[in-house]
Chain A
Amino acid sequence: MLNFRKRPSCIPAPDGSCNCCKKVALVGNPNVGKSVLFNALTGAYVTVSNYPGTSVEVARGTVLVNGIQCEVIDTPGMYSILPITEEERVAREILLHESPDVVIHVLDARNLERMLAMTLQLIEAGLPVILVVNIMDEAERMGLTLDLPLLQEKLGVPVIGASAAKKKGLPELREAIISYDHKRHAVFGYSKRLEADIFEIMALLSGSYTLSKKALALLLLQRDDEVVALVREKEGDGYPSIEEKVREKMFARRDSFHLELSMERKTVVKGLIDKVFHAPEQRKPVFGERLSRWAVQPLTGIPLLLIALYYGLYKFVGVFGAGTLVDFLEGTLFEGYFSPWITGLVTSIIPWEIIRELFIGEYGIITLGLRYAVGIILPIVTTFFLFFSVLEDSGYFPRLALLVDRLFKKIGLTGRAVIPMVLGFGCDTMATMVTRTLETVRERIIATVLLALAIPCSAQLGVILALLSKFPGALAVWSVCMVLIFLLVGLLASRVVPGESPMFYMELPPMRLPQLSNVLTKTYSRMQWYLLEILPLFILASFLLWLGKITNFFQTLIGWMKPVMALIGLPQETAIAFIFGFFRRDYGAAGLYDLQTQGILDARQLTVAAVTLTLFVPCIAQFLVMQRERGTKVSVAIALFVSILAFSCGYVLNEFLLITGIL
């Protein structure tokens, strides 16, 4: 059957199941503001960004419109009703199987001509379409004029101008949803020959479908596998004759059916936008466009990237987040006030030493779990997500993607993979989930391996930067190791992993000044997801560590790991950090931090430990997501590979450092 699985959302969305009267689906090209409109309509929050293809998940929300309850569905962007990528498939599923009462096609006013082709397809499919011409404000600023009433007359469906970000056009849209009359819409004709072909196929279709038979006939002619499967299922015995007819027509049109169809649609669109769309002859470039030019040329783009990384990642996340904030939260608040207080409290109410240990002991849920999660990890991750959201909303990422595409091609990826990679510096778990936006299975596997191996997450990165910053040499060795391993494993993977080599294409959204409120809500929702995901794990880890300690299992485990530690030249106490690291990578790094403050590790050992731990198995959460996205076999293979490689690299690095005496 169809490969749509409803995936749990990153953000806890309102319960999808509802017995409301109207089902409203938002569809449209990537990056036209579907999610903004969704948020504005429902008051719920889904991640909005200035980056095509952000909504991988299907978000659902309910809203009362003039007393009538509606379920609103936000879909991933699609370019055409014929899906190519996974996201498009997910979006089309909704049209195909959920029979929405209203389909809101959102498009970008500036690109009316290009995007109207999909409106045609939706109307042709017999779907109840409302057209929302969004981003009217920016179009007006560019001097474009649009006659929407005329367009409405031509299309025969409601057409509403909107600027969803400024909440303009919403009352009109609500009104249109309520008063929607399905029967009215225009009919578009193709050339006689094409219409005749469509008719011949339509005549053979006898089942009942959510899409019109005309649309189905066209999709069959375009060899849409899912529609073929659907028709085969519904038609039963009648299917062979349909298949025969489709094959006959396809053969007659084998040269360029896709192109001919697009050209026919283009002709229709040309007729539609005539007298509707006026563009000025000349327009002056705005600042965003100039910045955009700088960002995409290597000569200016690379310095710009370095500046962004230095101020954003190093200064803001590293120095401010992992330094100032952690010192304040963990050092002053936790150690100074909270810990003594809670220790006193727990001691006074719990008489049993062993239970006390569970809360406030060496590995206590409060003194370790909560302290790590809230005192160390939270400030680092928050600052990272802030930085990431600002970059995301500015529209910088697609530009970075095209800048690194050539390099990424060498490691079997395309520039498109830059998003999961950069996001990985925030949270590898989240990033592994986002690898779904990559087009081929091959890219997804390579990206998953690289995320599991060489991309340290922000918490880990923050702790490691803080750790190694006392030894600049160590930091350099660590960075070189990471870059080398990233490239080497990538090069290797691109040779070994089978599959087609990917192509790179990406829409460049205009660069915009990020809106503070949007950046804040986005950071907030990511933080919420992160905390919900990690806090239980931290508590579980503390519990297991406590259990390990009281049963002495830990000492045994450390004993077992002793030879491995010795092999890579580390004192046996480091084993604790590695055991921590299994629960969460950052937890492990934080464990190192503790060891370092106790003065157990020297510069060489610290470097080796940091490199090994960065490479070492992803945290449990990442492993679970890996397993969900890539399947058990692949994820176990990746985890094994990563663990073995981590310790091998640790060994080699240790020997290398011992021989050369660099540190």
Chain B
Amino acid sequence: MKLSEKAEEILEKLWIEVEEEGNVFTDMEQVPLTIEDPVYQELIDLALVEVKDGRVYLRPEGKDEGRKIVRRFRLAERLMMDVFNIRGEAAKEKACQFEHLLNEGVDTKVCTLLNHPSTSPHGKAIPPGECCLEAQRSGNLGVVPLTELKPNEEGEIAYIQTEDNKKMQKLMAMGVLPGNRIRLIQSFPSYIFSVGFSEFAIDTNMAREIFVRR
């Protein structure tokens, strides 16, 4: 099923009204939708919405479709911000265009790339897809930042993620190198960890950039 862009946007809006705002229906003027609009026929034909007395109701099929569309849009937003580093209005506009490309499995790929995010940059929930549930089921917490370790927990350094080259060098000089064992000793007021026989203290910002495989 390939919907027109306009139809996708309407379904997205209706889904948010129903699922997040708690409204059972939406007035046709509010959508806005008119009977003359070809989109109207498209949505009715696919049995995604029902219209009674100028009120638009989302049918179960439509709800399902809407959910996927919202998911794609919010994933696109995350992609804009986290990967492309585009923010603000520009990000929203680009995400609007991008979401239409995220179908037929592309969304799963993006979702995995982004490590199954649960919220959009604006703090709204991203409806989980099959891939997210699968990742959750397999229970593999995998690689986490040092901040997520409990005191006295040990792990293997997986990678360092920082844009700051100096920070990277500093960390590496302290023995924070992929493959080395690292043990968190304390997490407040500063992070203390040991590598080999030495102990180091670092601040939260640096601790966030060390990723550890437990």
> Which A positions have Cβ atoms within 8 angstroms of B?
79-80, 82, 84, 108, 110-111, 113-114, 142, 144, 223, 258-259, 262-263, 266, 279, 292, 296-298, 398, 401-406, 409, 414-415, 503-508
Known: A402-B192, A504-B190, A505-B174. A258 touches B169 (CB 8 A): yes
Contacts of A279 in B (CB 8 A): 197
**Interface residue range, chain B:** 20 to 34
Contact A84-B166, Cβ < 8 Å, known A262-B177, A297-B186: yes
Q: Which residues of B contact A296 (CB under 8 A)?
A: 186, 190, 192, 201
Asked if residues A402 and B190 are in contact (CB atoms below 8 Å), the reply is yes
As a 0/1 sequence over residues 179 to 210 of chain B, the CB contacts with chain A under 8 angstroms (1 = contact) are 11000001011101001111111110110000
Given contacts A84-B169, A84-B170, contact A506 B201 (CB under 8 A): yes
Residues of B within 8 A of A505 (CB): 170-171, 174, 200-203, 206
Cβ contact within 8 Å between B199 and A406: no
Jot down 26 A-B pairs with beta carbons below 8 A, ordered by A.
Answer: A80-B169, A84-B169, A84-B170, A108-B198, A113-B175, A114-B174, A114-B196, A114-B198, A142-B197, A223-B165, A258-B165, A258-B168, A258-B169, A259-B172, A298-B189, A398-B201, A402-B201, A405-B189, A405-B190, A415-B190, A503-B203, A503-B206, A505-B174, A505-B201, A506-B200, A508-B199
Specify which of A80, A110, A144, A415 is in contact with B201 (CB 8 Å cutoff).
A415
Q: Across the two chains, which residue of chain B brings its CB closest to A118?
A: B173
Within residues 118 to 166 of chain B, which ones have a CB less than 8 A from any CB in chain A?
160, 165-166
Considering residues B167, B170, B195, B201, which has the most beta carbons from chain A within 10 angstroms of its beta carbon?
B201
**A503 CB, nearest partner CB in chain B, Å:** 6
- B residues touching A (Cβ–Cβ < 8 Å)? 160, 165-175, 177-180, 186, 188-190, 192, 195-203, 205-206
Residues of chain A contacted by B178 (CB below 8 angstroms): 259, 263
By the criterion CB–CB under 8 Å, are B202 and A508 in contact?
A: no
Once the chains bind, are B160 and A401 in contact (CB under 8 Å)? no
Query: A505's closest neighbor in chain B, by CB?
Result: B202
On chain A, the residues within 8 Å of B174 by CB distance are 79, 114, 505, 507
Bound Cα distance from A262 to B180, whole angstroms:
12
Q: Which residues of A contact B196 (CB under 8 A)?
A: 110-111, 113-114
Determine the chain A residues whose CB is within 8 A of the CB of B197 once the complex forms. 110-111, 142, 144, 279
**Nearest CB of B to A271, in Å:** 14
Query: A266 with B179: in contact, given A110-B198, A114-B195 (CB under 8 Å)?
Result: yes
Cβ of A292: which chain B residues have Cβ within 8 Å of it? 199
- Given the complex, which residues of A lie within 8 Å of B202, measured CB to CB? 503-506
Complex CA distance for A506 and B173, rounded to whole angstroms: 12
- Alpha-carbon distance A403/B201, docked complex (angstroms): 10
Residue of B with least CB distance to A223: B165
The closest CB in chain A to the CB of B173 belongs to A79
Q: Is the CB of B189 within 8 A of A504?
A: no
What's the nearest-Cβ distance from chain B to residue A90, in Å? 17
Q: Which of B195, B199, B202 has the most CB of A within 10 A?
A: B199
Closest CB of chain B to A260's CB: distance in Å?
10
- Say whether A403 contacts B189, CB under 8 Å: yes
On whether the beta carbons of B172 and A262 are closer than 8 Å, the reply is yes
A279 to B181, CA, bound (A): 14
* Distance of A592 Cα from B200 Cα, bound (Å): 45
Chain A positions within 8 Å of B180 at CB level: 266
- Measured CA separation A266–B176 after assembly (Å): 11
Q: Considering the chains assembled together, what is the distance between the CA atoms of A422 and B205 in angstroms?
A: 25
Chain B residues whose CB sits within 8 angstroms of the CB of A84 once the complex forms: 166, 169-170, 173
Rounded to whole angstroms, the CA-CA distance of A503 and B169 in the bound complex is 13
* Complex: A80 Cα to B203 Cα, angstroms: 22
In the complex, the answer to whether B198 meets A507 with C-beta atoms within 8 Å is: yes
Specify the chain B residue showing the minimal Cβ separation from A298. B189
Report the separation of the CA atoms of residues A113 and B181 in the bound assembly, to the nearest whole angstrom.
Answer: 12
Query: What is the chain A residue whose CB lies nearest that of B168?
Result: A258
Q: In the docked arrangement, what's the CA distance between A263 and B157, Å?
A: 12
Q: Which chain A residues lie closer than 8 Å to B160 at the CB level? A: 259
Complex: how many Å from CA A453 to CA B179? 47
Partner among B177, B188, B195, B201 whose Cβ is within 8 Å of the Cβ of A504: B201
Q: How far is the CB of A654 from chain B (nearest CB, A)?
A: 37
Which residues of the partner chain B approach A82 to less than 8 Å between Cβ atoms? 169
Chain A residues whose C-beta falls within 8 Å of the C-beta of B189 in the assembled complex:
298, 402-406
Q: How far is the CB of B181 from chain A (nearest CB, A)?
A: 11
Max chain B CB contacts within 10 Å: which of A114, A258, A292, A404?
A114
User: What is the CA–CA distance of A114 and B196 in the complex, to the nearest angstrom?
Assistant: 8
Closest residue on chain B to residue A501 by CB atoms: B205
Instruction: Name which residue of chain A comes closest to B209, CB basis.
Output: A503
User: A326 to chain B: closest CB distance in Å?
Assistant: 38
Asked whether B177 lies within 8 Å of A263 as measured between CB atoms, the reply is yes
Q: What's the nearest-Cβ distance from chain B to residue A163, in Å?
A: 16
B residues near A298, Cβ cutoff 8 Å: 188-189
Report the bound CA distance from A404 to B203 in whole Å.
11
Closest chain A residue, CB of each to CB of B193: A508
Given A258-B165, A262-B177, A298-B189, CB of A79 within 8 Å of CB of B201: no
Instruction: Tell me which of A113, A144, A398, A504 contacts B206 (CB under 8 A).
Output: A504
CA–CA, A84 and B169, complex, Å = 8
Which of A296, A401, A415 has the most CB atoms of chain B within a 10 A radius of its CB? A296
A-B pairs with the 5 shortest C-beta distances?
A: A79-B173, A402-B201, A402-B190, A110-B197, A508-B199
Residues of B within 8 A of A142 (CB): 197
Q: Are B205 and A503 in contact (CB under 8 A)?
A: yes
| Min C-beta distance of B78 to chain A, whole Å | 22
A404 to B188 alpha-carbon distance, docked (Å): 11
Q: Which of B167, B186, B192 contacts A503 (CB 8 A)?
A: B167
Closest B residue to A506 by CB, please name it: B201
Q: A82-B169, A503-B167, A505-B171 are in contact. List 18 more A-B contacts (CB 8 A).
A: A80-B169, A80-B173, A113-B175, A114-B174, A114-B195, A259-B160, A266-B179, A266-B180, A296-B201, A297-B186, A298-B189, A405-B189, A406-B190, A415-B190, A504-B190, A504-B202, A505-B201, A506-B201
How far apart are the CA atoms of A507 and B172 in the complex, in Å? 13
Q: Please, which residue of chain B has its CB at the minimum distance from the CB of A439?
A: B166
Q: Tell me the smallest distance from the CB of A11 to a CB of chain B, in Å.
A: 28
Cα–Cα distance between A505 and B206 once the two chains are bound (Å): 8
Residue of A nearest to B164 (CB): A503
